[in-house]
């Protein structure tokens, strides 16, 4: 699969959505047993922006953060990672969003949010318009299903992004990323379907694909998602690795993960996968090769505590003997 990328100094990817600060509890275990917390910059779309930038691509991130110390933490970290931030607005009328979570793979992590009324939740269609102004056709723009769940203005911004991407031949990359603690299925499904219908590439888990299509198996889910409009649909599946579809009439593409890592922190693995997939497509890798790159990025990310700390650089991504399953 070939994904045209813009020339010159324009970003190859613009990610639009939420960035916030997470306080991760230590030691591992129930959140109420924590004795200390470490701060980390997180956010579905900002994680992807950092991941693609670390792999050597020109990346911009657009959104809103507070004019406070936590906003400064986010701004400094993104700039240090080489992510362009001219469309990351410092909002003096609202605080930067925060979350608190523990370290636990099973059962799933406990998360406490302090993001209601946050600067990130005030993202609006005008912010999207400013971030997309002048981008050449073929530029990849990314949003996840987290953003439209945050507020009415965020929902309007995400839908404006989808409409603008289609009208201007930008390539919309959507991660369904349905979060049950943000909105219910009945509210989420129609909005997420609209985003997917405008997407060039969509990624989802099996359960997320089932929410939108009713399909059960990974292969059926990938084909059903592709049938909604995207050129490529990729299902992340714990048992199979990943299953992709480029159309209902074409056979599914199954790409198992060939790398293993000690899991220090499973949160952020999907964002790392998305970053690797986007980078692979920007580099004109075949779809199976781009998915293999995505697997390696996800495996690297979960070996380190924090969403972005373990995202690999280009040099780190090169496969070695230690990466191969023994």
The Cα 298–Cα 273 span in angstroms is: 5
Residue 283, pLDDT score: 96
- pLDDT digit string (tens) for 148-203? 999 999 999 999 999 999 999 999 999 999 999 899 999 999 999 999 999 999 99
Q: Of 102-111, 112-121, 277-286, 302-311, where does mean pLDDT reach its minimum?
A: 102-111
- pLDDT digit string (tens) for 222-277? 999 999 999 999 999 877 899 999 987 789 999 998 776 678 888 889 999 999 99
Mean pLDDT of 6-19: 87
Which tokens go with 64? 């809103």
pLDDT of 324 above 60: no
The answer to whether residues 232 and 274 touch, using CB atoms and an 8 Å cutoff, is no
Q: In angstroms, what CA-CA distances link 319 with 67, 293, 307?
A: 41, 10, 22
Residue 209: enclosing H or E segment and its boundaries?
helix 206-213
- Percent of the chain beyond pLDDT 90? 78
| CA 140 to the chain's CA centroid | 13
Report the number of secondary-structure helices (H) and strands (E) in the chain: 10, 14
Residue 2, pLDDT score: 43
Q: Is the pTM of this model over 0.85?
A: yes
Residue 236, pLDDT score: 93
Q: Half-sphere exposure (CA, 13 Å, Cβ side) for 112?
A: 8
In this structure, what are the phi and psi dihedrals at residue 134, rounded to the nearest 5 degrees?
A: 85, -5
For the CA atoms of 155, 158, 164, 165, the dihedral, rounded to the nearest 10 degrees, stands at -150
Residue 8, pLDDT score: 62
Mean pLDDT of the chain: 91
Catalytic residues: 271
Show the domains of the chain with their CATH numbers.
Answer: 44-95+120-199+257-311 (3.40.1190.20)
295 in helix, strand or coil?
helix
Q: Of 25-34, 62-71, 87-96, 181-190, where does mean pLDDT reach its minimum?
A: 25-34
Backbone Cα Rg of the chain: 18
The Cα 140–Cα 59 span in angstroms is: 10
């Amino acid at each position: 699969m070939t994904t045209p990328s813009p020339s010159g100094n324009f970003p190859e990817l613009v990610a639009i959505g939420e960035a916030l600060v997470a306080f991760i509890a230590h030691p591992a275990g129930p959140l109420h047993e924590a004795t200390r917390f470490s701060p980390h910059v997180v956010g579905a779309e900002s994680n992807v922006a950092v991941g693609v930038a670390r792999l050597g691509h020109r990346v911009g991130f657009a959104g809103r953060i507070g004019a406070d110390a936590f906003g400064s933490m986010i701004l400094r970290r993104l700039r240090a990672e080489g992510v362009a931030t001219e469309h990351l607005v410092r909002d003096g009328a609202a605080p930067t969003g925060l979350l608190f979570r523990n370290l636990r793979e099973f059962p799933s992590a406990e998360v406490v949010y302090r993001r209601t009324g946050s600067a990130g939740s005030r993202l609006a269609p005008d912010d999207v318009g400013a971030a997309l102004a002048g981008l050449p056709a073929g530029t990849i723009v990314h949003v996840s299903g987290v953003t439209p769940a945050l507020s009415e203005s965020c929902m309007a911004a995400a839908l404006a992004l989808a409409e603008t991407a289609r009208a201007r031949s930008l390539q919309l990359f959507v991660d369904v990323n349905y979060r049950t603690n943000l909105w219910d299925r009945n509210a989420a499904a129609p909005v997420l379907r609209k985003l997917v219908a405008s997407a060039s590439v969509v990624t989802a888990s099996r359960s997320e694909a089932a929410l939108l299509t009713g399909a059960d198996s990974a292969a059926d889910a990938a084909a059903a998602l592709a049938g909604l409009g995207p050129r490529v649909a990729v299902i992340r599946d714990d048992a199979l690795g990943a299953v992709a579809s480029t159309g209902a009439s074409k056979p599914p593409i199954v790409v198992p993960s060939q790398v293993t890592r000690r899991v220090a922190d499973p949160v952020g693995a999907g964002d790392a996968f998305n970053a690797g997939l986007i980078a692979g497509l920007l580099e004109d890798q075949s779809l199976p090769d781009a998915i293999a790159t995505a697997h390696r990025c996800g495996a690297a990310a979960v070996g380190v505590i924090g969403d972005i700390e373990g995202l690999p650089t280009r040099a780190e991504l090169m496969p070695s003997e230690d990466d191969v399953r023994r």
